[in-house]
Amino acid sequence: MAESLLQSLVLDRSFPGPEIASRIRMTLEDPVQLRRRQLYGRVMMSPQACNDATPAAVLVPLVPRSEGLQVMLTRRTDHLNDHAGQISFPGGRTDPEDLSPQQTALREAREEVGLAQEKIQILGNLQEYFIPTGFRVIPVIGWVTPPFTLQCDPFEVAEVFEAPLSWFLDPTRHILQQDFSPQGQLRHYFALPWKQYNIWGATAGMLVNFYHVLQDSPH
């Protein structure tokens, strides 16, 4: 029996070729698979807050390496007003001139980490994800072809690093946590610690969503 896409991504440590990118794209285009998405953050926001949320997009950069497919992440600088010091994907709010979430994600990736657009192949989108700080985020999955050079914006990005995608596709590592917001509201969120990095909140939720979309994919 042929391996599922999820099995291939978790078990195969060889260099991921173009066929893997093609299978991910087909999965993201499959409405049956898209219905597997379960997390969207809306439960922590009022209907009015969701309606008023600022449109935004992030790029989820997948990088094929000899040791397997990696996901590129950033650590935000500590002085930012929103999500200071947190692990995130390159991205931000939609500008008026952006014609699509994909354009927002590509622009933000160029501005934040210097990732050239010609190195990125867009594979598709995940479901919009609402963040209680007031954003409605579209995660855009991108295949980033090495070699490439990065130049981080020192105001926004303290560090950029890659982690094995397979680590985040293991459901035993999806740690559901809860605490109280500064406003006293009980909130639930996922944490996916890797090495010294605590990846939690929206970034972890988007990776968990990606797992659910890839799970049992027939492609």
Q: What is the pLDDT of residues 69-105, one digit of tens each?
A: 999 999 988 655 555 568 999 999 999 999 999 999 9
pLDDT value for 45:
73
State the Cα–Cα distance between residues 16 and 36, nearest whole angstrom.
Answer: 24
For residue 17, pLDDT beyond 90: no
Burial class (CB in 10 A: 0-12, 13-18, 19+), 19: exposed
Architecture of domain 5-214: Alpha-Beta Complex (3.90)
Range 18-21 contact pairs with CB under 8 angstroms and sequence separation of 24 or more: 20/64, 20/69, 21/62, 21/64, 21/121, 21/123, 21/143
What is the pLDDT at residue 14?
81
The DSSP line for 23-86 is: HHHHHHT-HHHHTT----SGGGS-HHHHHHPEEEEEEEEEEEETTEEEEEEEEE-TT-SSSTT-
- Rounded Cα–Cα distance for residues 212 and 47 (Å): 25
Three-class DSSP category at 139 = strand
* Mean pLDDT, rounded, for 182-204: 85
Q: Give the DSSP H or E segment for 94.
A: none
Report in angstroms the alpha-carbon separations of 75 from 26, 86, 135.
30, 6, 19
Q: What's the token pair of residue 182?
A: 């500064």
d(CA 163, CA 165): 6
**Confidence at 36, pLDDT banded by 50, 70, 90:** low
Question: Could you tell me what percent of the chain has a pLDDT over 70?
Answer: 85
Q: Which of 61-70, 171-180, 193-202 has the lowest average pLDDT? A: 171-180
Residue 199 has pLDDT above 60, yes or no: yes
Round to whole Å and give the CA distance between 110 and 42. Answer: 29
**Which positions ≥6 away from 83 have C-beta within 8 Å?**
76, 133, 201
- What pLDDT was estimated at residue 1? 40
Mean pLDDT of the residues in the chain: 87
pLDDT digits (tens, 9 = 90+) for 144-188: 999 999 999 988 899 999 999 999 999 999 988 877 666 666 677
User: Residue 4: which pLDDT band, with cuts at 50, 70 and 90?
Assistant: confident
Q: Name the residue ranges covered by the structural domains of the chain.
A: 5-214
User: pLDDT category, 41, cuts 50, 70, 90?
Assistant: low
pLDDT digits (tens, 9 = 90+) for 113-155: 999 999 999 999 998 898 888 899 999 999 999 999 999 998 8
